[in-house]
């Protein structure tokens, strides 16, 4: 039995199978999941688990090269935006929410949280843990 990191077997499998530049999405309860994309539904009740709880858990277990969020998060959901800036700083890119939803069609999985605040979504782009070992 695993004792550290992500215990959810579906999320752990997705993370292990990620290759460089593959993406996963952490989304609020209302984010649509495109046909053909694996949905890992963690939502229990409104707000549980929160977007931030899930992001923190995944960040601890995933090498992340960059993050994509909707531009609308800045003004509509400043608390989530501040949280994302704290974790990812300058490694974030911004797109319009409609484009964000289109980009989710390429994700390996969408992790649905119980979050019910608008634009609480992000796309995490996988990096590689060994790039610093090769002088890259």
Residue 37 belongs to a domain: yes
- pLDDT per residue, tens digit, the chain (136 aa), is 777 889 999 999 999 999 999 999 999 999 999 999 999 999 999 999 999 999 999 999 999 999 999 999 999 999 999 999 998 987 899 999 999 999 999 999 999 999 999 999 999 999 987 755 555 5
CATH of the domain at 79: 3.40.1650.10
In a domain, 5, yes or no: no
Residue 11 lies in a domain: no
Q: Which residues are documented as binding site?
A: 28, 97, 119-121
**Would 17 be classed as within a structural domain?**
no
- Binding site for substrate, by residue number, is 28, 97, 119-121
pLDDT at 133: 52
C-alpha distance from residue 124 to each of 44, 45, 46, 133 (Å): 23, 24, 23, 22
Question: Is 20 contained in some domain?
Answer: no
Domain count, the chain: 1
Burial label, 4 (beta-carbon count in 10 A; 0-12, 13-18, 19+): exposed
The question of whether 20 is a catalytic residue gets the answer yes
């Amino acid at each position: 039995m695993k004792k550290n990191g992500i215990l959810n077997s579906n999320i752990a499998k997705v993370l292990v199978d990620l290759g460089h530049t593959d993406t996963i999405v952490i989304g609020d309860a209302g984010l649509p999941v495109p046909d053909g994309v694996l949905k890992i539904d963690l939502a229990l009740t409104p707000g549980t688990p929160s977007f931030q709880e899930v992001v923190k858990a995944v960040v601890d277990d995933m090498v992340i090269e960059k993050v994509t969020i909707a531009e609308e998060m800045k003004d509509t959901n400043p608390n989530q935006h501040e949280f994302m800036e704290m974790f990812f700083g300058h490694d974030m890119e911004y797109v319009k929410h409609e484009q964000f939803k289109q980009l989710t069609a390429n994700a390996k999985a969408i992790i649905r949280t119980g979050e019910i605040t608008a634009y609480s979504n992000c796309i995490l782009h996988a990096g590689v843990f060994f790039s610093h070992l090769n002088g890259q």
